[in-house]
Structure 1
Amino acid sequence: MPDFPLPTSPVPTPLAPTLSDRLALRERPMGQPLLRQQWSELLFLHWAVPAELLQPHLPPRLKIDTHDGMAWLAVVPFQMSKVRTRLTPEMPGTNAFLELNVRTYVHLDGVPGVWFFSLDATNALAVWVARTFFRLPYLRADMRLERPSADLRQFTATRTHGGAPPASFRATWKIGAPLPPSEPGSLAFFLTERYALYTSNKAQTKLYRGRVAHAPWPLSTAQVLHLESNLIEGHGLPTPSGKPVVHAGSPVSVELWPMQQV
């Protein structure tokens, strides 16, 4: 009789988070947050990307989170202020700075979150703290945010971190009309309502998850008048095609919990 291979059990594919999973993360975590801060002057720039192009850039256990079958790659400039720990007041010189991140969306064990490819910031102390205690890929950069009028913003950034790939960003946008609250299940909800973040050790053998709490984003329409960036390409990622999905974000107060190994 011919030999036949024994049947093997298929490797289970991690299930994508349900809408209930996503809504559950809006609940404030137990315990005390480690940090409190405010995020403002946000510009969300999102491009749809085939998931198979991003998955190889992630640690093995993390899976790309998709909406209508597509992964999303984002560049997000913003201003961080009122930064303090739960035990200390705001410290002048370290409590406000600009930040710019490149990110995508992932899930692990039904918990959706954000994966950062890089986070550039103007504050050297904040970069050191984030790299040392949160294992986040923060990099030093020179940045400038200008407000020529009530609805116009100009943001420029040039990376200065030693040993990191050079990168620059320049954008001008006009803030439009306020949008209604994001409907659960909508694309805007998927892209902006994120209450967990992931990172790993350098070897990508260990994963860590941190929780974030804030009110749902107050979003507005926005029109990008000018955009120059090589941030995405600096990570070996494909240059997105087409126009981005754009939102402007109004200020929110944010609480962050310590990273936990998962």
Structure 2
Amino acid sequence: MNQGIIPIREKRQQKGWRMTQTWEHLLFAHWAVSPEAIRSLIPAGLELDTYDGHAWISVIPFLLTRVRLRRLFPVPYVTTFPEINVRTYVRAGSTRGVYFLSLDTSHLLVTKIAEYWYRLPYYHTKMDLLVHADRIDFQSERFSAGADAAAFRGSYWPVSEPALARAGTLEHWLTERYTLFCQCKKTNGLYCANVFHEPWMLQRADAHIRENSMLAPFALPISEKPDLLVYARGVESFIWPLAKLSPFEGERSR
């Protein structure tokens, strides 16, 4: 866990981004599910993406650092905080990306900004992340008013050397995605945003998950143990503004 995060090498080539973030100490906990079990959670206009006939859902705890908007200095007390995401894998036309079913963070201001700018289903959550020499300890418990209960408590650590995922492998399919899709709650319109970072350096991981009810609100038939665990020390990222998904793209994905 001692290797550094991966910085963007040619920042001058990236133009038009709105926000930069660094994602650190990520656990990618993945479960295979039948497409039928998850299709109703995906809005019309997006196509569920599959690998060898399976859809996948992931729970990803991590630490956000160096968060700032373009042309602005970092705001004190807003630049570093933990987060946990639940996501699945979709496409619109030929573009593959991720669709977030929920995002939880401890920073209330950030949840409001993300909901407004990126139409993402954020929840305000009590959480804590501690980095030890041999493991990461992470715990969260949602307390947003009117939200379904969801919690995660566990420890995780890498068990292999870092390496780039080979094209065509499941690890590459799950992680090398550079578009997020979302739906506006008010209009039901579909949007997308591009994301850029250098390719992930991934490590096989192990974990002691003491509690995980992050998937309970979606009533998915999954096993207690994830089908795949992967750790990443982290990457620097740029995120572009939302763009409305064109009706043509949506129709191609039906």
Of 96, 101, 104, which aligns to 1:112? 96
| Identity level (%) | 34
Shift of 1:173: 1.4
Alpha-carbon distance between aligned partners in 2 of 1:231 and 1:204, rounded to the nearest angstrom:
26
Give the total of aligned pairs: 234
- The CA deviation string for residues 28-74 of structure 1, in whole angstroms up to 9 with x for no partner, is 99631000110001000001111111111111111111111111010
- Following TM superposition, the consecutive aligned residue runs of length 4 or more in structure 1 with deviations greater than 4 angstroms are none
* Greater relative contact order (CA < 8 Å, ≥ 6 in sequence): 2
In structure 1, the partner of 2:167 is 184
1:48–1:240 contact (8 Å) kept in structure 2: no
In structure 2, the partner of 1:69 is 53
Deviates more, 1:240-249 or 1:102-111: 240-249
Alpha-carbon distance between aligned partners in 2 of 1:203 and 1:95, rounded to the nearest angstrom:
29
Are 2:130 and 1:146 equivalent residues in the alignment?
Answer: yes
In structure 2, the partner of 1:165 is 148
Shift of 1:142: 0.7
Q: How well do the aligned residues superpose, as a CA RMSD in angstroms?
A: 1.7
Map of 1:126-145 to 2, 5 A cutoff?
A: 126-145=110-129
Are 2:18 and 1:34 equivalent residues in the alignment?
Answer: yes
Are 2:190 and 1:207 equivalent residues in the alignment?
Answer: yes
In structure 2, the partner of 1:85 is 69
1:120–1:139 contact (8 Å) kept in structure 2: yes
Alpha-carbon distance between aligned partners in 2 of 1:180 and 1:53, rounded to the nearest angstrom:
32
- The CA deviation string for residues 106-130 of structure 1, in whole angstroms up to 9 with x for no partner, is 0001101000000000111100000
Map of 1:88-107 to 2, 5 A cutoff?
A: 88-107=72-91
Structure 2: tracts of 5 or more residues without a match: 1-11, 246-254
Alpha-carbon distance between aligned partners in 2 of 1:205 and 1:129, rounded to the nearest angstrom:
19
Shift of 1:227: 3.6
Shift of 1:235: 2.6
- Structure 2 length-normalised TM: 0.87
**Larger Rg belongs to:** 1
2:29–2:226 contact (8 Å) kept in structure 1: no
2:31–2:222 contact (8 Å) kept in structure 1: no
1:197–1:209 contact (8 Å) kept in structure 2: yes
Q: Residue type matched to 1:150 in 2?
A: A
Alpha-carbon distance between aligned partners in 1 of 2:96 and 2:25, rounded to the nearest angstrom:
24
- Structure 1 length-normalised TM: 0.85
Structure 1: tracts of 5 or more residues without a match: 1-27
State the SS of the aligned residue for 1:38. Answer: strand
